Amino acid sequence: MGLGSFRWRILLIIISALLLWQSSKVWLNFTQEKSIIEAQLQENQPVTLSQKDERVTQKVHVAVYYEALCSDSRNFFVKQLLPTYHRIPDNVQVELIPYGKATTAKTENDYEFMCQHGPTECEANIIHACSIDIIKNVSIQLEYLSCMIKNNIEPVNIMRTCAKKMNIDHNSILKCSVGAKGKELLAKHGELTNSLTPRVVFIPTVVLDENSENQAKILKNLLQEVCLHLKVMPEGCTV
């Protein structure tokens, strides 16, 4: 074997050794990071998405029981719910239940409702219920309802105004709201509201993962309370 071939073999051996050394460092770092994450999860401590596979995303179920003409509901939508969704859209599963402190009376072929803020609120609640049923995209749904709840005194007019602003076809929502379907949806929301334990005493009531405790904290800082439910902390919780 010539001197040149010998040198090439030595060079290849050195390169192979360096590659093996670098690979072992990467594997060591990975196993250490994995151990840290597992320990944090066992201790119920939050970790960041950079420490965990982003394909596994925890969602907190946020159920909002509200009324269309309630000032506290309006403030919660505009100042808490919508901003929280914008910050961590992948980590919240929003369910909206417009009904509040209304009552439902079942007649032979229909429903009659009495709402806390009068007949106009019943009309607005039905429009909200139909919008929720028809608009499946959560982002668009939240933006649309937030737009309407800012000024629901004239429910049909604000429905049209917000629909035009967001390029939404409001005809199907209007048809639902003036027909039997709208009343059926509102009655169903009433059943959901009345089945809450403990019963609703304040509107809005917000339930996180079927837990209605800490209402004052939730209404004041929804983002913070949702983030406390997450084991893996998304960027929106830390910025």
Q: What is the pLDDT of residue 221?
A: 98
Calpha distance 124→34 (Å, rounded): 51
Q: Is 238 exposed, middle or buried (0-12, 13-18, 19+ CB in 10 A)?
A: exposed
Is residue 13 over pLDDT 70? no
Mean local confidence (pLDDT), 175-204: 96
Q: What is the pLDDT of residue 108?
A: 85
For the stretch 4-11, contacts whose Cβ atoms lie closer than 8 Å and that sit 24 or more positions apart, written own/partner, are none
> Where are the domains positioned within the chain?
3-45, 60-238
**82 pLDDT band (50/70/90 cuts)?**
very high
- Report for 9-18, 51-60, 125-134, 226-235: range of highest mean pLDDT: 125-134
Q: What is the pLDDT of residue 130?
A: 98
Q: What is the pLDDT of residue 20?
A: 62
Q: What is the pLDDT of residue 41?
A: 45
Of the two residues 4 and 86, the one the predictor is more confident about is 86
- Tell me what percent of the residues of the chain surpass a pLDDT of 90: 73
Is residue 53 over pLDDT 60? no
What does pTM read for this prediction? 0.77
Please report which residue ranges of 50-154 form alpha helices under DSSP H.
71-76, 82-87, 119-134, 138-149
Of the two residues 12 and 163, the one the predictor is more confident about is 163
Of the two residues 159 and 41, the one the predictor is more confident about is 159
The whole-angstrom distance between residue 75's C-alpha and the CA centroid of its chain comes to 17
Could you tell me what percentage of the chain is helix, strand and coil, using 3-state DSSP and rounding each to the nearest 5? Answer: 60, 15, 25
**238 pLDDT band (50/70/90 cuts)?**
confident
Task: Tell me which architecture the domain covering 60-238 has in CATH.
Answer: 3-Layer(aba) Sandwich (3.40)
Q: 150 CB contacts (<8 Å, ≥6 apart)?
A: 74, 78, 158
Calpha distance 53→31 (Å, rounded): 14
